[in-house]
Amino acid sequence: MPRTILVVDDDPHIRQLLVFALGKAGLDTIEAGDGEEAVTLIGERIPDLVILDINMPRMDGLEVCRRVRATSGVPILFLSSRDDEIDRVLGIELGGDDYVVKPFSPREVVARTQAILRRAAAKAPDVQGCGGRIAHNCLTLDLEGWRALWDGQDVPLTVTEFTTLRTLASWPGKVFGRDAIIDRLHGPGFAVTDRTIDSHIRNLRAKFAAVGADTLIETRPGIGYALGSCERSGS
């Protein structure tokens, strides 16, 4: 079945451009001209992905993301202006999956949209042959259900956060540079900054810290990140 993309931007020209490009790629679309309308539509229609402008009147994209993330893990692709680096990083930290900088190429937006959708639909390799699960001490990843658990407790993650953690957990002991993580998220050639990856790692650490986990991910200075011991504190 065709995937449905919600395009949220207060500029009707941008919405028209994206709707046309996404339609040519075989994707269905719905539109919202402001954040309040977007929140309502997400609750009613449950799209497969949201393309969300950061700078909008009435309710900006960051506030939309906050409200959506309170109840939903729907993937979010932000649109942002060149001078909004702080907002872009904050958007990722709030639970956005990726961003595209304005002015943008519609083909790039479509490519990033399809990359996120592929991640959401992909079945990760069954590393341990245990019905699509990866288990490492207190950490368990249900690869088919896209669930992360720490000591049996659910830890809600976005698609990008889950894929990042799955990458690290699939090869315990291996250190992944930021470029290697980007390649596994998007495929080679995508222009994503190191700060974006760092933001996703911070999100993961913060979410697991909230359930008492502080050994999830190790930082190897100057190299990258690796899965931590995933042991209970004090073990």
Integer CA distances (angstroms), 192 to 38, 129, 201, in order:
26, 33, 14
CA nearest 51: which of 95, 17, 9?
A: 9
Q: Do domains 4-121 and 133-227 have the same CATH topology?
A: no
> What pLDDT does 82 receive?
63
CA nearest 156: which of 67, 77, 95, 220?
A: 95
> Tokens representing 119?
């991640």
Domain range 133-227, CATH class: mainly alpha
What are the pLDDT tens digits along the chain (235 aa)? Answer: 678 999 999 999 999 999 999 999 999 999 999 999 999 998 888 899 999 999 898 899 999 998 888 777 789 999 988 666 777 778 877 888 888 888 899 999 999 999 888 877 654 443 343 457 889 999 999 987 888 999 999 999 888 888 889 989 988 888 888 878 877 775 544 445 567 788 889 989 999 999 999 899 999 888 889 999 998 876 5
Question: Which segments of the chain are extended strands (E)?
Answer: 4-8, 28-32, 49-53, 76-81, 98-102, 133-136, 139-142, 147-150, 153-154, 217-220, 224-227
CA nearest 109: which of 2, 1, 9?
A: 9
- What CATH number has the domain spanning 4-121? 3.40.50.2300
User: Where do the domains of the chain lie?
Assistant: 4-121, 133-227
> What pLDDT does 140 receive?
94
Q: Is 64 helix (H, G, I), strand (E, B) or coil?
A: helix
